[in-house]
Chains A and B, each alone.
Chain A
């Protein structure tokens, strides 16, 4: 009986591990979608330095905020964006809000970022962070952040968690649920 339990445990562990690797390789093999400047991109992009951005990281209104740091040039970021978009739609009525913080280069806001937002019909709030003093603001986001993206913060009032990793939709949902309960 013990052996059977152990065997199941091992199967579960190795299955999880195999699954994780598979998802990662899928994420990395996904193709970067080139954006075209065809659609209407006549909208104002909100651009902040870190001091300006901080208000999105410190709200205390009992909502769960999912703040994702990404860029159009970051393949694993682009791969996981649809999951954040779905989350924003599915959990909208449960007081969950997704904020996408773009780290695209400022000189590419018009030619890359805005067309990307339009083409992919992003419905989550997108803001751009333009602050070169990264050594100052990265530790303010999280002491544990090495600076690699994608990176995500999930918080509700003073309760917060930082993730330097890629997400699947399921993983994202699991984490958010912890903040809802």
Chain B
């Protein structure tokens, strides 16, 4: 009877753990507007580790989950570079994080990331989410997926989630620059008008 009870307890533990695991897989909602975003310590293409807390003078961040291999990410590469050129000096540097599992997508491994950063002349860190612990916390689901963070006393607060702009095909035909509008608003002390947008992207490979 005692043994039976022990077995029962053990099974209960297993059951609750596996229930948790299933739950964890399916209810990964990520951040909402106004949430404080986690910092991280991730390996950059230059061999150094990078954290948001390294940026003492930053007013916030333009965080992008992106990669080498997604056609949408590639279509937006030049616009991400332009964002960094425009906003890093104003206190909103771009930080790029590659979230894919590189066993599934070898074209996104660190060597490939280094090559891409070099050939495109990335002016910002291009970090690898080794172990894929960071992107789920943000709730990124696709590449490219943008998060604009504002540095406040309580931490880096999420102010915008979504696409860069409203035309992936043609940068010159863009009508609404979502990320720029968000950062401009924050820089002038206003609240962001359009806080979330949807866009097609490549599923993050797990």
Which residues of A pack against B, CB within 8 Å?
Answer: 2-3, 6-7, 9-10, 13-14, 17, 24-25, 28-29, 73-74, 76, 103, 105-106, 132-135, 138-139, 145-150
The answer to the question of B205 belonging to the interface, with a C-beta cut-off of 8 Å to chain A, is yes
Which residues of B pack against A, CB within 8 Å?
Answer: 4, 7-8, 11-12, 14-15, 18-19, 21-22, 70-71, 75, 101, 104, 141-142, 162-163, 166-170, 173, 178, 197-206
**Shortest Cβ distance from B164 into chain A, in angstroms?**
11
B-chain residues with CB within 8 Å of residue A25 when the two chains form the complex: 104
B-chain residues with CB within 8 Å of residue A145 when the two chains form the complex: 198
Q: A149 touches which one: B7, B12, B200 (CB < 8 A)?
A: B200
- Contact check, B166 vs A24: say whether CB atoms are below 8 A apart: no
| Contact A10-B11, Cβ < 8 Å, known A24-B206, A135-B162 | yes
Binding site of A, secondary structure by majority: helix, strand, loop or mixed? helix
Q: Determine the distance from Cα of A76 to Cα of B201 in the docked complex, in whole angstroms.
A: 13
Q: Determine the distance from Cα of A163 to Cα of B166 in the docked complex, in whole angstroms.
A: 24
Binding site of B, secondary structure by majority: helix, strand, loop or mixed? mixed
Residue of B with least CB distance to A72: B71
Q: Determine the distance from Cα of A25 to Cα of B22 in the docked complex, in whole angstroms.
A: 17
- Contact check, A28 vs B104: say whether CB atoms are below 8 A apart: yes
Residue of B with least CB distance to A107: B169
- Contact check, A135 vs B11: say whether CB atoms are below 8 A apart: no
Q: Determine the distance from Cα of A25 to Cα of B101 in the docked complex, in whole angstroms.
A: 11
**Shortest Cβ distance from A147 into chain B, in angstroms?**
5
- Contact check, A9 vs B15: say whether CB atoms are below 8 A apart: yes
- Contact check, B104 vs A14: say whether CB atoms are below 8 A apart: no
Would you mind naming 19 contact pairs between A and B with Cβ atoms under 8 Å apart?
A2-B8, A10-B14, A13-B18, A28-B104, A76-B203, A105-B75, A132-B166, A132-B168, A133-B167, A134-B200, A135-B162, A135-B197, A138-B199, A146-B142, A146-B198, A147-B141, A147-B200, A148-B142, A148-B200
